[in-house]
Structure 1
Amino acid sequence: MLTTERKALIMDRIRRDGRLVAKAFAEELSLSEDTVRRDLREMASEGLLSRVHGGALPIQPDLPDFTARRAVASDEKRRLGAKAASMIQPGQIVFLDGGTTNAEIARALPKTIAFTIVTHSPTIATELEHHPTAEVVLIGGRLYKHSMVAVGAVAAAAISAIRPDIFFLGATAIHPRHGFSTGDFEEAAIKRQIAAQSSATWVLATKEKLDAASPVTIMPLEAATGVIASTQVEAEQRQMLESAGLEQLLV
């Protein structure tokens, strides 16, 4: 097999699965593992993929910090946030994850009913400073500055006592095989804990998150209740969500 053919197959596999395991790929194609690893090194040097122990992942673009991301409030995020906010019922306990999309939920929360918002994001709590009917519970812990959320043992201990009615989970990517994912191990662990304790877990999915994978899996798609997404998502992406048994609210 020619080098160009091998590399094309490698890229196809990474796009399909969100990763490539060198040993398994070599066995599948009856190649030496050294050959595959050499191809991966060359492709990484060309900026085509990201080398990791045992294989490769898609290139993850450098993520801007939270302040920069917050300045970009697209119409899509506003629509998703408004739909999520409309789901909240009087008296419910709602856990709002961090992130710029979930900030749009905070801005759209109803002001005519009483409910409790729990969050481990100081920026989300700040959005609710002047909200007339929302009781706000802020979870503390070590601040993960990229996403502006509390993580670690202190946050986990506080979260363990809460049973939210709805959790609006923030994820950086949604993939049929790798589920909901993000970029940090501790952040993923906290998200997973909150979801396990919540009666329902919903994810707001902007178009660029669908069919993508980040380095750390939060949980499989089947573990969530549903996804709120744009009507502009492709039919194949809708099928991916449907196959996982997820409810879909399109706005």
Structure 2
Amino acid sequence: MTAGATPTFTAQRRERILELLRVNRAMALRDIARQVRASEATVRRDVRALESDGLLDRRRGGAVLPGLLDHDPPADGAGEAPVAGERALAYAAARLVGDNDTIALGPGRKTEALAHEIAHRNGLTVVTTSLPVAEALSASPGVEVVVSGGTLHGPLRSLVGSAAEQTLRGLRVRRSFLSGDGVTADRGLSTSVTATGSTERALVSCAEEAIVLADHTAVGTDTMVSTAPPEHIAHLVTDNHADPEVLLTLEETGTVVHVAVLESDRGE
């Protein structure tokens, strides 16, 4: 190998990392390392360099494309077809929804994917603050959709503020399904989007129990605004790349953990 080849290989590897993130939106460092056939230490350096160039955002143990945190997608991202990881979590979470059920769905790509998964159900009532969720269910004859009032948070296309919270205080559902940017045993579910925090806490309060959809990049991560304390999280739906030690600490708080196997790992 010549001395001049190393920068070329580094550039190719970093471009491959960005390609993986464009497909998966978020990935753990260990998964990136496996895909690019490099050590985690090397990938960590690559991620830092790419972050300094503004090409991605780092999260604890992983990376996402800029602006593609689950709770803050670009305005034109809502309504897109769910990616594989979101479909896997949505499929697992749908098993916690029955016909003739009354549930609430918060904002985010994962809950939007869940809306698509349950669109064929009968006798279902869905309360939501998310316009993409409402749109996903709008053509479902067996689903009644209740949309809160409120102020539109543009990037997330979610209704927030006192009007939304007042609507939710007057309702009672069996389960609320929420996603976020982090979930830990110490603080529960959290989000980096301050505008939605209070409304999402109202979504938790209007339900008999809360169910969190969080991929492996969010498990063990703690972000700015707490939305569901750990004692209120009855179920966590995550994927098979989540840190098992963190999942164990969550189970010790009383949370039931459901692990969905990602499509890329099936048949291995």
Is 1:109 the counterpart of 2:118 in the alignment? yes
Q: What amino acid sits opposite 1:201 in the alignment?
A: A
- What is aligned with 1:237? 246
1:63 maps to what in 2? 67
Q: Distance in 1 between matches of 2:173 and 2:252?
A: 26
The whole-number CA distance in structure 2 between the counterparts of 1:171 and 1:66 is: 17
How far has the Cα of 1:234 moved from its partner?
2.5
Report the secondary structure of 1:136's partner residue.
Answer: strand
Cα deviation for residue 79 of structure 1 reads 1.2
TM-score (norm 1): 0.71
Q: Do residues 91 (structure 1) and 86 (structure 2) align?
A: no
Query: Partner of 1:123 in structure 2?
Result: 132
3-state SS in 2 of match to 1:199: strand
Who is 2:230 aligned against?
221
Report what 1:5 is aligned to: none
Alignment partner, residue 33 of structure 1: none
| Structure 1: 5+ residue stretches without partners | 1-46, 48-57
Deviation at 1:198, TM superposition (A): 0.4
Q: What SS does structure 2 have at the residue aligned with 1:210?
A: coil
* Correspondence 1:130-209 to 2 at 5 A: 130-209=139-218
- The share of aligned pairs that are identical, in percent, is 21
Counterpart amino acid of 2:140?
H
* 1:159-207 superposed Cα distances (whole Å, 9 cap, x missing partner): 1111011100121111233321112334111111121220121001111
Contact 1:66–1:100 (Cα < 8 Å) also in 2: no
Partner of 1:32: none
Q: Distance in 2 between matches of 1:142 and 1:133?
A: 28
Partner AA of 1:74 in structure 2 = V
TM-score normalised to structure 2 length: 0.67
Secondary structure (helix, strand or coil) at the match of 2:173 reads coil
Structure 1 residue 69: deviation in Å? 6.8
- Count of residue pairs the alignment pairs up: 197
Q: 1:110 to 1:120 in 2, by over 3 A?
A: closer
Aligned-pair distance for 1:86? 2.4
Distance in 2 between residues matched to 1:132 and 1:69, nearest whole Å: 22
SS at 2:76 equivalent: helix
Deviation at 1:110, TM superposition (A): 5.3
| Unmatched tracts of structure 2, length 5 or more | 1-51, 53-59, 69-73, 261-268
Tell me if the contact between 1:60 and 1:214 (Cα under 8 Å) persists in the aligned partners: no
Contact 2:209 2:232 (C-alpha < 8 Å) held by counterparts: no
Q: Which residue of 1 aligns with 2:87?
A: 78
1:217 alignment partner AA:
S
Does 58-67 or 68-77 show the bigger shift? 58-67
Closer, same or farther: CA 110–72 of 1 in aligned 2, 3 Å: closer
The alignment's C-alpha RMSD in Å is: 2.5
Q: Return structure 1 stretches of 4+ with deviation > 4 angstroms.
A: 58-62, 69-72
